[in-house]
């Protein structure tokens, strides 16, 4: 039995089954807290904890599913290419929006954690939370935060954007696909983007662009900000 649980078959079947059920539930209810990604992550964690199955066993299959994320990111080039005219028409708003988002992310995440009494390492770990995982890890390693904590917070941020990003945008008066896609992609990277792709291809394409550019902007801004902090 334990061998079977450690085989990739277990992690793959469990993930697909749970995701399938979660998606079904979301389609039936349209209740935002039943977001398929967040719901699947939550259910699988509960299941593994209750049945006392180690994450390492689950991940033998899990990492095979995760592998497909790589080519999916490359595939984001397709909607970007197809909507290139609409994107080029807005290049300045898009670039400045991402830049403003990157700066506000660094300052607000670190600032709020610091105000609430977070320790030095924790405050630093929050800095790249809106950036896609591989870039976030690179940044946090350089500034001296806790790498696994950052990895977990990136997922949390992504789930939040996927659960209520588009709804939040509507509430604060952001209605166009371009602005919604940019806001959700910049704030909550791939997980937020994945939700948009299922609902609004153009918003999803812009969000995909925002993942790459926000990652780049944050990676460049963080060392500059640190230099400023050192000076004053």
Sites for other proteins among residues 105-124 (CB under 8 A): 105, 108-110, 112-119, 122-123
Q: Tell me how far, at minimum, the Cβ of 39 lies from other proteins, in Å.
A: 10
According to CB under 8 A, which residues from 9 to 28 bind other proteins?
Answer: 11, 15-16, 18-19
Residue of 81, 120, 144, 199 interacting with other proteins (CB under 8 A): 81
Find out whether 61 and 11 touch, Cβ atoms under 8 Å: yes
Q: Tell me how far, at minimum, the Cβ of 216 lies from other proteins, in Å.
A: 6
- Is 149 an interacting residue with respect to other proteins (CB under 8 A)? yes
Residue of 4, 71, 230, 232 interacting with other proteins (CB under 8 A): 71
- Is 5 an interacting residue with respect to other proteins (CB under 8 A)? no
Residue of 204, 227, 229, 231 interacting with other proteins (CB under 8 A): 204
- Is 217 an interacting residue with respect to other proteins (CB under 8 A)? no
Nearer to other proteins, 160 or 225 (CB): 160
CA–CA dist 186, 13 (Å, integer): 32
The tokens for 197 are 């792709």
- Is 140 an interacting residue with respect to other proteins (CB under 8 A)? no
The tokens for 142 are 């350089």
Q: What is the DSSP string of 25-79?
A: HHHHH--GGG-HHHHHHHHHHHHHHHHT--HHHHHHHHHHHHHTHHHHHHHTHHH
CA–CA dist 91, 152 (Å, integer): 32
What is the helix (H) or strand (E) element at residue 210, kind and residue range? helix 201-231
- Is 216 an interacting residue with respect to other proteins (CB under 8 A)? yes
């Amino acid at each position: 039995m334990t061998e079977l649980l450690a085989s990739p078959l277990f992690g793959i079947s469990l993930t697909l089954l749970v995701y399938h059920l979660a998606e079904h539930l979301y389609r039936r209810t349209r209740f935002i807290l039943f977001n398929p990604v967040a719901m699947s992550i939550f259910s699988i964690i509960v299941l593994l904890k209750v049945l006392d199955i180690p994450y390492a066993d689950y991940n033998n299959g899990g990492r095979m599913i995760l592998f497909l994320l790589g080519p999916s990111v490359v595939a984001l080039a397709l909607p970007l290419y197809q909507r290139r005219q609409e994107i080029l028409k807005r290049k300045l708003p898009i670039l400045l929006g991402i830049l403003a988002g990157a700066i506000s992310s660094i300052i607000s995440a670190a600032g709020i954690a610091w105000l609430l009494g977070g320790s030095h390492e924790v405050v630093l770990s929050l800095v790249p939370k809106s950036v896609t995982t591989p870039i976030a890890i690179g940044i946090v390693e350089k500034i001296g935060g806790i790498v696994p904590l950052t990895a977990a917070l990136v997922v949390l941020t992504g789930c939040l954007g996927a659960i209520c990003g588009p709804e939040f945008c509507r509430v604060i008066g952001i209605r166009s696909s371009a602005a919604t896609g940019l806001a959700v992609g910049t704030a909550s990277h791939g997980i937020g983007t994945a939700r948009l792709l299922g609902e609004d291809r153009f918003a999803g394409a812009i969000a995909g662009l925002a993942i790459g550019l926000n990652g780049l902007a944050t990676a460049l801004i963080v060392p500059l900000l640190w230099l400023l902090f050192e000076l004053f």
